[in-house]
Structure 1
């Protein structure tokens, strides 16, 4: 079995991307001195260094990297060594211009950014395998080497190419996947609009067409593009496993960012030795700490609950959003340790020293432009000491309360053209349900729709447009055996080929929900409806309504106006030993909170009303004990109840009864027993 933790790392990982090639070599000694001062335990090196390592075809310069790795080793800093295959040199593209990707409208990208790669291109694959082999042969047993870092953020910024090489590769993929062209015709429904094929050679990628193309073809191309990228990762990984045994191989994911929704991380999580993730706050006015928690929970779930590693985040502001505010004092520590609470074995950053040139020169770093006499640097040093004190948590696992179903294939299908309304956003629904669970102080595991859910008292399905029959049967068994299920609208509509399930909506969910949906009735922009419960209280809803027909389910809330007036808006169905809830409209936070409150009662989940709003409490547990993390995201001091006394690891103080958590602070208690 491959190693799954960074080799030789005896502490939590702390450090960042280190790009010394941007600086004179005389700066390196200052860097490692400051790394020791900050408590840095590991850095990522060489991710964008192909042009320096191989300045001309077949000519190599490893001298600078030899000296760098030796210097880091001498100073006790472990190395996450990158294969630089995300950024081929300009000489490669000039020799192989067809390796630059082509968009669906036929435009070929140019050299001058990053990640501009046609992953079907044979010359790219050969060159990537060659530089990876050279690195593995030279550094596979270097004493500084902790793990291998393949490529960088696969799928960003280009996930799919539409060139002729990709067309040929797509045809081979279809032949392997379906066997016959007749099976492709059946899966894609090519009888519609006369799109029938008689030979694989007739099939192209879903390039620009005068109106909407075939949705089954578009969905399969997303699968093909993801699988093709994954092939290239596996190629590099297998070289590294062969030439550098005992050293884990990873690549950095971006699980919860919409910029990387082209990657099926359930599949990728099975390919890496250690799941790692990059996370950056989306500063659009929402509560950024909620999205952070969601990203960490999703990454842990992709790792199947095992410890993972935050490989990139920011010390303060970033540079690629429309507005990039700085982080408030103390926010960097809260952000970092919140990832740790939810399973990360450390906190790494982009990057160590802030760049003076290039596209990311205004992206914050551990060592800012202003140097060591800055707030950011002082907080970095404090965070290093805090992480060192948390070493006992290594190897423990985060404890979850509920599961939320999540499927990238469903996102892909949902986001294709010509759906009932452009105002329904499946990701928005996932965020909304997660935020309510977060506010109820429930820790979430995300799960694949066909996963075993028996360990969870409550399962939430925010929006799962694409659902297989197997997933539907799994949810039915889950409820029959005593589980509580909550399903939101426009779920269970199509199968894995984007074909509507036979019979009434919602397909494989009809029996478990005890209802059918005769028709969708999306609302016009800005339009709202009222829904009422039996005692007459009202809530507003928008975007979506449905004509729901109970077939065993009982109405809980009813539409009071609009086309669906008189029809159930929210239902509850008792099935076997469990209960299934359905909500057929878009509820706001208050409505979702009431709904999930009732569902939590059905699931016998204890209410946590004694925890203040925006005070986050998470547990990790394992052989070394149980650790309670408390985060105060507010401007007022708070107190958190402790079920048993313990030692607060950041201060060394004893804690019992109610734990004081100052405004903006973090506390971590190792509970006795």
Structure 2
């Protein structure tokens, strides 16, 4: 096993990282020593510093103020706490915006945004990039030899989009490099439609606000460019760090899961450590499965261990209604991330802010101080994470769900048969039954190396280029099982519709081909054929399947050759359990993945060993009676025995979420008496 950050190993053994963002510039220096002592008591071993410190480090152009940062980093390291040092370039100071208003982003409608928030910069602005590079260069030179710095953190939550003339120039250069000639560009974008042909490169502009629907190929390439432009910005700062840090400490930035504007697959090889922010909604009963899916995406992007670099200990401050977390929920969220491959749990932030936009965002130390329910639960969590020996362990999988940012972008543009068929809801619907059964799942790009997978699921691969199509066909020819969902293999890399029966490129494997996409009426329709029940939103017309009423109902599920083909096509959006009990419940078995192959649901260590889901608990000497009674308010507790082997029964709502917080501590020898029962908000404690 290899630690994500070797410097944080204990006696040569990798350990989980625990801590979070720390913003000492928001506090009087007199409180710093108290903070650091409390960090030590809580088991903190890594803090992120400097994310939003540009104005504190450079209060005016060219003036450096590193003294306060020196003192806090020295203090942290004197107590054995490592630092994830950020480049503070996500929030430019006001003096830069006033001196160079062109650094501020322009919306698609032509509105220049103002400073006063954060992320207020144009990615292509030369003035912004020069100022950022100057500060990063000096920051790296100043701290390159400091032993506390064990991780570099570039920017924060990249996602800025700008439509200004500078971005138009950069986009034009990107398009020219991609297509080479105007003839190739006109062909790729299909500009014969609506008289949109380009006769000069100067005519290529961002897809700004227009009278009606903008060319979808134009918008698709714009989205690709925007992700690449942000990556270039990351690379610029990462290169300065790598050039100045002779110790070659790893470089990261924080992704945001399924965030539309950043193609994490395209970024992955540029990061030394893949990190992610995770903020599941305590008020959403689906949040455990959504979080698990997002963690699997991040692990897949990383190709192994990753880092949960931000999460909330309790309520956030940016939803319309912000529910707090019980201790059980906080623990479950933390252990779930570890179960899905994270080598640490970091939170935003150490001490709750008194001012600013995030003053009501929870923290490891709330406004009420350390002698509180929340902070005591943080201390217990830190102690329990320190006892887990799972850092660096892989999560072997045989099942992959296919996903591609370009396909997602293309599938949700205007001018489609339906705006109700959305990619992420489909992805979650296909993932949920696998998660319920404890199957470990990777999220895989369709053009990636597919060796090692036995089963691939494509919930909605609207866009498949030629290389990806060939890759999936080769996977099937090698004996793999592929299932494609609604509205898949519809367009090529340029969002041009593929002609012929669909899914184009796979009809020979299916033994059938669709003729017509069939959005369903608002009330939905009854299923016919192999399934019973009710379908909503979407259907597809496959004339091979008939019914007494086939003039009304499209086909539902089309397996080729009596269901023995390695390729299936699920072409209805079937709500909830209907899909689970229908196609998706039998596909793993068809791929040779039996219940004995699946992983214990949401259990670190077990989730990192798919050879035998009962081996690791036995090694740890854990029996079912070791599970503590960690209640989650308002939800039934999951009493199922997850320490032996997970079963296929449904676990409602938060009950399944409770699994991590009850079983994982037991693996580390933590008994029920080590964890107090959760307090129920809205009732008197005790």
TM-score (norm 2): 0.88
Secondary structure in structure 1 of the residue aligned to 2:595: coil
Q: CA-to-partner distance for each residue in 1:446-500, whole Å, 9 max, x for gaps?
A: 1001123232222111111111122222222222322222211101000111001
Identify the match of residue 538 of structure 2 among 541, 544, 547: 544
Secondary structure at the aligned position of 1:346 is classed as strand
Q: Using the TM superposition, name which of 20-29 and 476-485 deviates more.
A: 476-485
Match of 1:188 in 2: 189
Q: Name structure 2 gaps, 5 residues minimum.
A: 10-14, 646-657, 670-686
Aligned counterpart, 1:598: 586
Superimposed CA distance per residue, residues 307-353 of structure 1 (whole angstroms, 9 cap, x where no aligned partner): 11100001011111122111123211111111111111110000000
Q: Secondary structure at the match of 1:520?
A: strand
Superposed counterparts of 1:438-457, under 5 Å: 438-457=435-454
Deviation at 1:577, TM superposition (A): 8.9
More deviation, 512-521/179-188: 512-521
Q: Which residue of 1 aligns with 2:12?
A: none
Q: Which of residues 466, 472, 476 in structure 2 aligns to 1:469? A: 466
Alignment of 1:197-596 (within 5 A): 197-245=198-246, 246-256=248-258, 260-283=259-282, 285-304=284-303, 306-390=304-388, 392-525=389-522, 527-533=523-529, 538-550=532-544, 563-565=551-553, 567-573=554-560, 579-593=566-580, 594-596=582-584
Q: Are residues 662 and 133 of structure 1, via their aligned partners in 2, closer, same or farther at CA, if it must alter by over 3 Å? A: closer
- Alpha-carbon separation, structure 1, partners of 2:605 and 2:557: 31
Distance 1:587 1:575, change over 3 A: closer
In structure 1, how many angstroms separate the alpha carbons of the residues matched to 2:661 and 2:34?
Answer: 35
Task: Pick which of 572-581 and 452-461 moved more.
Answer: 572-581
Q: Which whole-Å CA distance do the structure 1 matches of 2:128 and 2:561 have between them? A: 56
* Cα offsets for 1:338-386 (capped at 9, x unmatched): 1111111110000000001011111110001111121111110011111
Question: Does 1 or 2 have the higher relative contact order (CA < 8 Å, sep 6+)?
Answer: 2
Distance change (3 Å), C-alpha of 1:571 and 1:538: same
Give me the whole-angstrom Cα distance separating, in 2, the residues matched to 1:622 and 1:521.
40
| CA displacement at 1:661 relative to structure 2 | 7.1
Q: Distance in 2 between matches of 1:454 and 1:610?
A: 19
Taking structure 1 as reference, are residues 560 and 68 closer, same or farther at Cα in structure 2, changes over 3 Å only? Answer: farther
Partners of 2:606 and 2:528 in 1: CA distance: 35
Once the two structures are overlaid, the 10-residue window that deviates more, 355-364 or 510-519, is 510-519
Deviations 1:396-444 (A, max 9, x none): 1113241100111111111111110111111110011111111122111
Deviations 1:95-153 (A, max 9, x none): 11011010111011000001011111111111111010010000011011111000000
Q: Deviations over 1:551-610 (max 9, x none)?
A: xxxx5xx66757543x53101125999521111111122221121122122112213699
CA distance in 2, matches of 1:91, 1:377: 38
Find the aligned partners of 1:586 and 1:37 in 2 and give their Cα distance. 51
After TM superposition, give the deviation of residue 523 of structure 1 in Å: 1.5
Hey, what's the Cα distance between the residues in 2 that align with 1:419 and 1:57?
49
Moved over 4 A (4+): 558-564, 574-578, 608-618, 625-634, 660-665
Aligned partner of residue 419 in structure 2, secondary structure: coil
Distance 1:99 1:425, change over 3 A: same
**What's the counterpart of residue 84 of structure 1?**
88
* 8 Å Cα contact 2:16-2:391 kept in structure 1: yes
Structure 1 unpaired stretches of 5+: 644-659
Contact 1:544–1:586, Cα closer than 8 Å, also in 2: yes
Q: Aligned to 2:519, what secondary structure does the other structure show?
A: coil
Q: How many angstroms apart in 1 are the aligned matches of 2:322 and 2:592?
A: 42
For residues 1-43 of structure 1, the C-alpha deviation after alignment (integer angstroms, 9 at most, x for no partner) is xx98335211311000000110000000000010010000000
The CA distance in 2 between the partners of 1:35 and 1:151, in whole Å, is 24
Aligned to 2:25: 21
SS of 1:504's partner is coil
Deviation at 1:614, TM superposition (A): 8.9
Superposition RMSD on alpha carbons, in Å? 2.7
CA distance in 1, matches of 2:318, 2:577: 33
In structure 1, how many angstroms separate the alpha carbons of the residues matched to 2:149 and 2:163? 38
Give SS of 1:177's match.
helix
Describe the shift of the 1:181–1:334 C-alpha distance in structure 2 as closer, same or farther (beyond 3 A): same
Structure 2 distance, partners of 1:611, 1:408, is 28
Shift, 1:663, TM fit: 8.3
8 Å CA contact 1:40–1:77 kept in 2: the answer is yes
| Cα pair 1:396 1:622 within 8 Å, conserved | no
For residue 102 of structure 2, the aligned residue among 98, 114, 124 is 98
Q: 1:589 to 1:559 in 2, by over 3 A?
A: farther
Match of 2:150 in 1: 146
Distance 1:75 1:409 in 2: 46
